[in-house]
Amino acid sequence: MSYGTEQAGSMCFLILSVLLLTVLNSALAQTKPSGVELGAALTLRPTFSGSITGIVWKLNGDLVAEWLNNEFEYYGTFRDRTTLDPTTGELVVKNVAVADAGLYTVEINSNVQSQKYQVEVMKKVSKPTVADQTTDIEQGHHEMIRMKNEISMPSTSKNGDESTTG
Q: How sure is the predictor about 32, in pLDDT bands with cuts at 50, 70 and 90?
A: confident
Is there a single domain that holds both residue 105 and residue 153? no
Which domain range does residue 136 map to?
Answer: 129-165
In a domain, 59, yes or no: yes
For residue 117, count CB atoms less than 10 angstroms from its CB and return exposed for 0-12, middle for 13-18, buried for 19 or more: buried
Res 11 pLDDT > 70: no
Q: How many domains does the chain have?
A: 2
pLDDT tens-digit map of 104-129: 999 999 999 999 999 999 998 777 77
Among candidates 124, 123, 107, which has minimal Cα distance to 115? 107
Rounded CA separation 1/135 (Å): 94
In a domain, 5, yes or no: no
CA dihedral 15, 20, 23, 28 (to 10 degrees): -140
Res 23 pLDDT > 90: no
Is there a single domain that holds both residue 44 and residue 92? yes
Average pLDDT rounded to a whole number, residues 25-54: 85
Is there a single domain that holds both residue 116 and residue 58? yes
Among candidates 102, 106, 115, which has minimal Cα distance to 85? 106
Res 44 pLDDT > 70: yes
Res 146 pLDDT > 50: no
pLDDT for the residue numbered 4: 60
Look at strands 30-37 and 111-122 and give their pairing.
parallel
In a domain, 51, yes or no: yes
Calculate what percentage of the chain has a pLDDT beyond 70: 61
Is there a single domain that holds both residue 148 and residue 93? no
Domain of 63, CATH number, reads 2.60.40.10
Is there a single domain that holds both residue 65 and residue 138? no
Structural contact between residues 46 and 111, judged by C-beta atoms closer than 8 angstroms: no
